[in-house]
Amino acid sequence: MPGNVSRLLTFAHSHYCEKARWALDAAGVDYVEERHLPLLHRRHTRRAGGGSVPVLVTSDGNRTDSAGILRYAAAHARARPLLPTNSEHRSTTLELEQYFDRELGPHARRWAYRELLPVPRMLDRCMTAGVRRSERLVAPFLLPIVRPMIRRAFRITPASAARSLEHVEQVFAAVAERLADGRRYLVDAEFGAADLTFAALAAPVLLPPGFGGAMPALEDAPAPMRAQVERLRTTPAGAFALGLYREHRRPRTHPSP
Ligand SMILES: N[C@@H](CCC(=O)N[C@@H](CS)C(=O)NCC(=O)O)C(=O)O
């Protein structure tokens, strides 16, 4: 691996990791992605001073969550600016980012896990995509332990998943309301951090083509999930997120170590 290039520690299927990847890609910041399996990630994230993924390890310190990584990308942007220079627009962007981190990310994740945990082969394929060989070899033994841990950690039940879907719909309604005046992007005339945060964190309920990690394709999703995803894709906020993926998601190819 090149000496000074930053390392982004991720899960292939995580939408918070996608937010970080997208921010770095959009800003034109160099990095190498290092994907890990759930549970095995901790050894690496702890060593970098963090816990969850994503973590960005850089020569001038580490960023241990997606918000920190987004700010790092904005500060080191070589391509497009991610944060508006106008201070009012900037604070609206950061407020929206926090809102999506809190109100969309956890609920989209819980609903999608509820749909996908009963089809472990599909979920396992996503989780193992691009991980190093040593981790891929232990995946058949590790992932059967990980799946019930996910169910417990996120308190996934039919009722909690249904409530989470309602939360997602509330966020989609708020986004639709913002877009109702015909604006192209959430905050100002340019694509930026609020837009990519929304689209990345909505990925588990939209299964967007162009996701930079690994998500099931819509055609492969279980029928009840497919029906909801198709419905959400046709809402104004869902169509907006898919449009952002089409027009603005340009992942570069990052070699796995
Ligand atoms: N607030 C964090 C949330 C990150 C997060 O929830 N990461 C999940 C994957 S989507 C994770 O790492 N879970 C395992 C763990 O917490 O150790 C961020 O924005 O980075």
pTM: 0.96
> What are the structure tokens assigned to 204, written together?
């588990």
What is the secondary structure of 145-213 as a DSSP string? HHHHHHHHHTT--HHHHHHHHHHHHHHHHHHHHHHTT--SSSSSSS--HHHHHHHHHTHHHH--TT-SS
| Residues 30-51, mean pLDDT to the nearest whole number | 97
31 strand-pairing partners? 6
**Cβ–Cβ under 8 Å, residues 20 and 66:** yes
16, 41, 156: which to mutate for ligand 1, most atoms within 8 A of CB? 16
* Angle, in degrees to the nearest 10, between helices 223-233 and 236-248: 90
Q: What is the pLDDT of residues 198-209, one digit of tens each?
A: 999 999 999 999
Whether the per-residue pLDDT at 12 is higher than 70: the answer is: yes
2 confidence band (pLDDT: 50, 70, 90): low
In this prediction, residue 253 carries a pLDDT of 54
* CA–CA distances in Å: residue 59 to residues 32, 124, 142, 203, 254: 13, 33, 32, 31, 18
Q: What angle is formed at CA 136 by the lines to CA 135 and CA 138, rounded to 5 degrees?
A: 65
CA of 100 to the centre of ligand 1 (A): 14
CA of 16 to the centre of ligand 1 (A): 7
257 confidence band (pLDDT: 50, 70, 90): very low
Percentage of the chain beyond pLDDT 90 is 93
| Residues 91-107, mean pLDDT to the nearest whole number | 98
At position 253, the amino acid (one-letter code) is: T
Cα(244)–Cα(48) distance, rounded to whole angstroms? Answer: 32
Of 246, 162, 232, nearest to 204 by C-alpha is 232
Cα(237)–Cα(219) distance, rounded to whole angstroms? Answer: 21
Nearest ligand 1 atom to alpha carbon 11: 9
| Residues 82-110, mean pLDDT to the nearest whole number | 97
* Residues with C-beta less than 6 Å from any ligand 1 atom: 11, 14, 16, 51-54, 65-67, 101
CA of 45 to the centre of ligand 1 (A): 11
In this prediction, residue 256 carries a pLDDT of 47
| Residues 82-96, mean pLDDT to the nearest whole number | 96
In this prediction, residue 35 carries a pLDDT of 98
10 strand-pairing partners? 35
90 confidence band (pLDDT: 50, 70, 90): very high
Determine the length of the chain: 257
CA of 105 to the centre of ligand 1 (A): 10
Nearest ligand 1 atom to alpha carbon 109: 10
Whether the per-residue pLDDT at 233 is higher than 80: the answer is: yes
Cα(43)–Cα(7) distance, rounded to whole angstroms? Answer: 15
Arithmetic mean of pLDDT over the chain: 95
In this prediction, residue 1 carries a pLDDT of 47
In this prediction, residue 3 carries a pLDDT of 61
Cα(62)–Cα(59) distance, rounded to whole angstroms? Answer: 8
In this prediction, residue 221 carries a pLDDT of 97
53, 110, 111: which to mutate for ligand 1, most atoms within 8 A of CB? 53
At position 160, the amino acid (one-letter code) is: S
Which three-class secondary structure state does DSSP give residue 115?
Answer: helix
User: How many CA atoms does the CB half-sphere of 121 hold within 13 Å?
Assistant: 3
